[in-house]
Amino acid sequence: MKPALVLVDIQKDYFPNGRMEVVGAVEATQVAQRLLIFFREKNLPIVHIQHIAARAGATFLVPNTEGINFHGSVAPFSGEPVIKKNFPNSFRDTALQEHLASRGIKELVICGMMSHMCIDTTVRAAFDKGYQCMVAHDACATRNLVFNGIDIPAAHVHGAYMAALAAVFAKVLSAEEIITTL
């Protein structure tokens, strides 16, 4: 079976000077780029997911802004599918499931932004739909959070979400481990 690489929301707003900068976006994207190159070289399926805010009052990934554009290092080549979404779940109200089903894809390699939001939600939805998932933990990034007055560093947020996904929903591996596996 051929797995598909699903690059989730690697868009300019998540990078330095963007409207919602995440910790480690540049480093995670360098790793995502290595995965993308590998999938292109092996002629394996690739899907780019692009989040465009539809919620009133959204402050980032706002339509018709530079921030919704893909980071240049992982921008889609001509002919590579781009699925636009308006929710954290890449399957919700999108053509993603139909696209994957029409190609007989049952395995996904997922990476991108943000670990605690769109990555987590997309992986859990994929699992619920019967996909076998691998998450490239080093090709994902997230941000610092605050809960109940407690500051939670991005590394802890990322680690907690990767641990939860690894418990049931996906194999959580480094990009290099995924490349070696494939």
The pLDDT tens digits for 76-110 are: 999 999 999 999 999 999 999 999 999 999 999 99
Give the integer Cα–Cα distance in Å for 66 and 61. Answer: 8
| 137: number of Cβ within 10 Å | 25
pLDDT for residue 2: 87
Give the integer Cα–Cα distance in Å for 83 and 128. Answer: 19
**What percentage of the chain exceeds 90 in pLDDT?**
98
CA-angle at 126, arms to 153 and 102, nearest 5°: 140
Q: Could you state, in order of their start, the residue ranges of all structural domains in the chain?
A: 4-181
| pTM for this prediction | 0.97
pLDDT in tens, 111-158: 999 999 999 999 999 999 999 999 999 999 999 999 999 999 999 999
Pick the CATH number of 4-181 from 3.40.50.880, 3.40.50.970, 3.40.50.850, 3.90.850.10: 3.40.50.850
pLDDT in tens, 1-41: 689 999 999 999 999 999 999 999 999 999 999 999 999 99
pLDDT for residue 92: 98
Cβ-count burial 40-73 (b if 16+ within 10 Å, e if not) = eeeebbbbbbbbbbeeeeeebbbeeeebbebbee
pLDDT for residue 1: 67
pLDDT for residue 132: 98
